[in-house]
Amino acid sequence: MRRIVPPALIGVLSAAFGVALAEVLAAATRPQAGPLIAVGGAVIDAAPAPLKEFAVRTLGTNDKPVLLATIGLALVVFTAVVGILSVRRRWVAVAGAALFGLAGAAAAALRPAAVAYDVVPSIVGAAIAGGTLLFLLRRSYRPTATAFDRRAFLRTAALVAGGAVVAGGAAEAVKRVRGGAATRSRDAVALPAAADPAKPLPAGTAPGFVTPNADFYRVDTALTVPSVDLGAWRLRIHGMVGREVELSFDDLLRRPLIERDVTLNCVSNEVGGPYIGTARWLGVPLAPLLRELGVDPGADQLVARSVEGMTIGTPVATVLDGRDAMLCVGMNGEPLPLVHGFPVRMLTPGLYGYAGACKWLTEIELTTFADFDAYWVRRGWGARGPVKTASRIDRPAPFAKLAAGRLTVAGVAWAQGRGITSVEVRVDDRAWAKAELLPAPSTDTWVQWRYDWAATAGLHTLSVRATDGTGAVQVEQRATPFPDGATGWHTVTATVE
């Protein structure tokens, strides 16, 4: 054990100290350049689509902490081995540190929105980790290279451990302060009233029609929530336009704003899944702005870029076809929450989020589909992303135990842009029966439905299917979300007693 545990610990502690100092450096300058976040981001970008889907499906919004913990664990194993091997061969310490610095630096430099000095935290961290490792080894193995000096080891190891904890705490504190600054700049935003406000929700919508911001699903690749300095923030519109512009947040707020109830959903949502919500969005309508600038008739793709380098491509024809595509500044009566894209995000009713709803927006480029593949398209997802007609049973919950008698089966159905004209429910293998549709403000939102069920004792399977405004019935064939959205009828099984 004495041959293994102390040198392994020396390896791990040295790395922890180096990483923690690198993270402080990054937190104070560019948080996305921290080695853990950079490597995590690189892993997310490199992960094959099925793995990513699996992570979103099984881990939900815990996917990010789980990823970081996995990277941490890999790092522990790697540095423990380096520590053990370095007792007899000091060059292993140097090589290990170099490899470790290179991985962090490469990951940071290859992030989409990287700047040249993003490699600095990883290189500094690796140099410190390597130096600390050599120092701890020299102190702990005296007078010969392999004679272990327990007291010296404990003393110096405690010192390094303390240093790592302090540095780690400092990195956390700096991140807090920065996040606090973004929160304060958000708190200071006073949103103007919409020139074209949303009408009150029609009478008869049931509770839950609007999803509160705190409950709204979150799906993105950002390991750290971008904290945008509103004063320095600009939206640049360029590419195949008659006139390029750079707009400040105030420039946007000076334009006439529209307010709309729109349902947003994720292409990764499984049949019956939770990645869908409806909010009242406030924003600048995009079509008139683009028409003012003049769009080159050859431009068929609008590429939105976010501050952390996400790219989302949207068909220009979709943005200009009369739907309420907008640059959102408000969500349910508040400035956009940080996690939902503060200060500005895009929203394109009728498209999945990955194809029309770029958060933390900073750039719009008019280009062509032939010339540019956006982030998810490069990973095999469909380039255009129209929402498929779908429906979900929310009540009863799966495997609920119910009492016999009259029960209300309820849920939602959506086909943004086309609207929902009918929802049918089937109990076991009986005939499909029409559900009641509750009123909805427009075809861009989901529709709530309910169905009165005379439940008899036994195990029952409930199924739902919707028909959209074009008359098309929701596709029965089960398909996975990849590459362009799940299909299939949602079913729920319940026991009636």
Ligand X SMILES: Nc1nc2c(c(=O)[nH]1)N[C@H]1C(S)=C(S)[C@@H](COP(=O)(O)O)O[C@H]1N2
Contacts 24+ apart (CB under 8 A), 138-141: 140/6, 140/7, 140/10, 141/87
The interface with ligand X within residues 404-423 (CB under 6 A) comprises none
Q: Which CB sits closer to ligand X, 202 or 333?
A: 333
Q: Which does residue 220 bind out of ligand X, Mo ion, none, counting CB within 5 to 8 angstroms by kind?
A: ligand X
Q: Which CB sits closer to Mo ion, 51 or 457?
A: 51
Query: Would you say 213 and 332 are in contact if contact means Cβ atoms under 8 Å apart?
Result: yes
Pick from 494, 497, 488: nearest CA to 409:
494
CB of 446 to Mo ion, least distance (A): 16
CB of 279 to ligand X, least distance (A): 9
Buried b (16+ CB within 10 A) or exposed e, 41-70: bbbbbebebeebbebbeeeeeebbeebbee
Select from 101, 353, 417, 481 the one that contacts ligand X (CB under 6 A). 353
| CB count in 10 Å sphere of residue 260 | 25
Q: Which does residue 310 bind out of Mo ion, ligand X, none, counting CB within 5 to 8 angstroms by kind?
A: ligand X
CB of 481 to Mo ion, least distance (A): 9
Is 489 a residue that touches ligand X (CB under 6 A)? no
Q: How far is CA 75 from the centre of its chain?
A: 24
**Total binding residues toward ligand X, as defined by CB under 6 A:** 18
Select from 216, 233, 342, 489 the one that contacts ligand X (CB under 6 A). 216
3-state secondary structure of 411: strand
Which phi and psi angles does 106 have, rounded to 5°?
Answer: -65, -45
Element (H, E) at 446: none
Stretch that binds ligand X, among 13-21, 88-96, 212-220, 390-398 (CB under 6 A): 212-220
Select from 27, 36, 171, 219 the one that contacts ligand X (CB under 6 A). 219
Is 363 a residue that touches ligand X (CB under 6 A)? no
Q: Which does residue 340 bind out of ligand X, Mo ion, none, counting CB within 5 to 8 angstroms by kind?
A: ligand X
Q: Which CB sits closer to ligand X, 24 or 219?
A: 219
Q: Which CB sits closer to ligand X, 223 or 420?
A: 223
Stretch that binds ligand X, among 313-321, 355-363, 386-394, 450-458 (CB under 6 A): 355-363
* Residue ranges binding Mo ion (CB under 5 A): 219, 266, 353-354
Cis peptide before 343 (omega within 30 of 0): yes
The two tokens of residue 243 are: 């006139």
Instruction: Report d(CA 192, CA 189) in Å as an integer.
Output: 9
Q: How far is CA 180 from the centre of its chain?
A: 20
Amino acid at 33: A
Pick from 164, 206, 152: nearest CA to 76:
164
Instruction: Report d(CA 126, CA 176) in Å as an integer.
Output: 25
Is 313 a residue that touches ligand X (CB under 6 A)? no
CB of 183 to ligand X, least distance (A): 17
CB of 234 to ligand X, least distance (A): 16
Q: Which CB sits closer to Mo ion, 125 or 353?
A: 353
Select from 340, 388, 418, 450 the one that contacts ligand X (CB under 6 A). 340
Select from 90, 139, 178, 218 the one that contacts ligand X (CB under 6 A). 218
Is 156 a residue that touches ligand X (CB under 6 A)? no
Positive/negative CA dihedral, 44, 45, 49, 53? positive
Q: Which does residue 230 bind out of ligand X, Mo ion, none, counting CB within 5 to 8 angstroms by kind?
A: none
The two tokens of residue 162 are: 């303390």
CB of 480 to ligand X, least distance (A): 16
3-state secondary structure of 158: helix
Instruction: Report d(CA 397, CA 364) in Å as an integer.
Output: 42
Residue nearest to ligand X (CB): 353
Binding site for ligand X (CB under 6 A): 216-222, 264, 266, 306, 310, 340, 353-354, 357-360
